[in-house]
Amino acid sequence: MLHRLLVLALLTTTSSWADARYKLAYRVKANTLIQLVAGLAGLSKLNSEGEEVLLKGSRLMVKGEKSSIILDYASGKMILIDHTDKTFEKLRIEDMKQRISGDLPGPMIEGLKRMFPGGGTGIATEVRVERMGEAQAMKSAEQFRARHGLSYLLPAMESIVALTPAVQKAFEGIRARGDLAEAIRIQLGVGGKVIDAFVEIRDYRESKIEESELQPPVGYSEVK
């Protein structure tokens, strides 16, 4: 009997670590060209006091007012949800990266090449963890970080938007150290002249996520 109780307690505790809810707040200052690129990448705004995030296992959903996104890092698939048209689209994360690249007009690509010569290796870059999370208090985020890196904090940037080599190298350093970042700052250009971005987790709590919450709303039509 004691053995059964211990097993049951372990299973209950483990399952409670699997899901979490929190908000992602971010502030981004960027020049005009970067703002245009961000718009093509689906970022409708560069500042938010907190977009709701649902984390369940290897899946992540970021809920926005006009659009939401569901990312499944185990399968490499994603769902884009348009709340204006009440539609959703299923595709691979890699396909989304290629779509964004294909949507960039020629003049914009040339502008980015001039802004980031050599892929941005010569641009002054700083990426730093502003605040560290406690692994015991953020169990689900820590489990996710161990498997999928910083995507729990930077879902679009880590998954969809191509990063400059300098930023990618900085992220790899953070991942290698195993930092559970609760907030992070990214600066490109001297003093953040090109980009100055700050992202932080707010109102984090371990909470069960139902499967129905990680689906497009009932009544929405799929775009194929």
Q: What is the pLDDT of residue 15?
A: 44
Q: What is the pLDDT of residue 161?
A: 58
pLDDT above 70 (res 104)? no
Residues 8-22 pLDDT 10s: 444 444 444 579 999
Token representation of residue 167: 């930023």
Residues 208-218 pLDDT 10s: 999 999 999 99
Q: What is the pLDDT of residue 37?
A: 66
Contact 181, 150 (CB under 8 A): yes
Average pLDDT over residues 114-131: 73
Q: What is the pLDDT of residue 81?
A: 96
Average pLDDT over residues 51-61: 95
First to last CA, the chain: 54
Average pLDDT over residues 188-198: 83
Average pLDDT over residues 49-78: 93
Average pLDDT over residues 146-167: 76
Burial (CB count within 10 angstroms: exposed 0-12, middle 13-18, buried 19+), residue 168 = middle
pLDDT above 70 (res 139)? yes
One-letter amino acid for residue 14 of the chain: T
Average pLDDT over residues 66-79: 93
CA distances from 29 to 22, 106, 191, 195 (A): 23, 24, 11, 6
Average pLDDT over residues 195-204: 92
Domains of the chain: 18-222 (2.50.20)
pTM of full prediction above 0.75: yes
- Please give the residue that has the higher pLDDT: either 165 or 122: 165
